[in-house]
Amino acid sequence: MPDKRPTSNLDGQIALVTGASRGIGEVIALRLAEAGASVAVSYHTGAEAAHRVVAKISEEHKEAIALGGDVSQEEDAKLLVSRVVDHWGRIDILVNNAGITRDKLLIRMSAEDWDEVLNINLRGAFLCTRYAIPHMVKQRHGRVVNTSSIVGLSGNPGQANYAASKAGLIGFTKATAREVASRNITVNAVAPGYITTSMVEHMPPDLQKSVLERIPMGRFGTPGDVAETVVFLCTEAAGYITGQAISIDGGLAV
Ligand code: NAP
């Protein structure tokens, strides 16, 4: 029997992107909307920026709302998901993108530096997924994409907390993927290398130069490089891919 051709179109799909007020999350939100999805743009401190993202999406005649909250707080994460479902009646796509760094050598790293990064990067993804999955199970359809990092695969000096959170996200992705695969829900991770957002722009110039020399493609990645893969993982065309961590790093980890 010939395969029915799967679609790359996200018309009618409802997406929540955490940390979408700027950086990679903003571009993921814009690209999901371009592909046809209605998008909830989550922010923590950047309300104005999030409303600007919503305005950009609305200019393209697509639907979007801005939702504030701290993903590391259980009540906020629960409310983020329930506000999406109250507004649109369902949630098809969750992109756990919100993330922070608090870089320090291990001997100078405080327990607070550790907790803050783990709480936002890992606990936040757990909480949003925990509250989104029951809706996806009921719908018998869902896509979860977690934003890990090359640092979660290879480690990085000065980033023990961040590396642990991003490696943890990969384990979380694989375990959750196994749990929900039978319900037609896929769970994947992307592992970006060095992407031109405030995270990379704040690196000292000599460090930027030495990183650049190690990237086989000879350039930093763009938020669009990451967003294209995320959008693909959210489509029907990617419906048989689950539990994967896909590197988007210009060959850096090869
Ligand atoms: P960014 O420009 O610093 O943006 C971070 C986003 O996360 C912002 O929208 C911020 O919201 C949100 N956020 C922070 N704390 C939050 C919280 N407690 N609750 C909800 N939202 C929160 O970061 P980025 O460079 O785009 O990175 C996005 C993701 O990609 C992160 O998970 C990062 O670890 C990962 N990543 C980045 C790179 C890179 O090179 N840039 C590489 C690998 C992986 P507000 O501004 O509204 O507070």
Helix axes 160-180, 111-118, angle to 10 degrees: 30
pLDDT tens digits for range 170-206 = 999 999 999 999 999 999 999 999 999 887 888 889 9
User: Taking 60 as the threshold, does the pLDDT of residue 216 lie above it?
Assistant: yes
Q: What is the mean pLDDT of residues 6-10?
A: 81
Chain centre to alpha carbon of residue 141: 18
pLDDT tens digits for range 21-54 = 999 999 999 999 999 999 999 999 999 999 999 9
pLDDT tens digits for range 223-236 = 999 999 999 999 99
Task: Give residue 2's pLDDT band: very low, low, confident or very high (50, 70, 90).
Answer: low
Q: Is 97 in the pocket of ligand 1 (CB under 6 A)?
A: yes
Cβ atoms of 66 and 55 within 8 Å: the answer is no
**What phi-psi label fits residue 107: left (phi over 0), alpha (psi between -120 and 50 degrees) or beta?**
alpha
Nearest CA to ligand 1 atom 34: 99
**How much is the pLDDT for 199?**
76
Q: Is 250 in the pocket of ligand 1 (CB under 6 A)?
A: no
User: Taking 60 as the threshold, does the pLDDT of residue 1 lie above it?
Assistant: no
**How much is the pLDDT for 200?**
83
Q: Return the structure tokens found at 16.
A: 């929540």
pLDDT tens digits for range 78-136 = 999 999 999 999 999 999 999 999 999 999 999 999 999 999 999 999 999 999 999 99
Burial bucket for residue 3 (CB in 10 Å: 0-12, 13-18, 19+)? exposed
Tell me, yes or no, if the pTM score tops 0.95. Answer: yes
Q: What is the mean pLDDT of residues 212-216?
A: 96
CATH architecture of the domain 14-244 equals 3-Layer(aba) Sandwich (3.40)
Distance 47 CA to ligand 1 centre (A): 14
Q: Is 98 in the pocket of ligand 1 (CB under 6 A)?
A: yes
Sheet of strand 185-192, all strands in order from the earlier edge strand to the far edge: 64-68, 38-43, 14-17, 93-96, 142-147, 185-192, 245-248
Q: How many CB atoms lie within 10 A of CB 6?
A: 12
Nearest CA to ligand 1 atom 36: 149
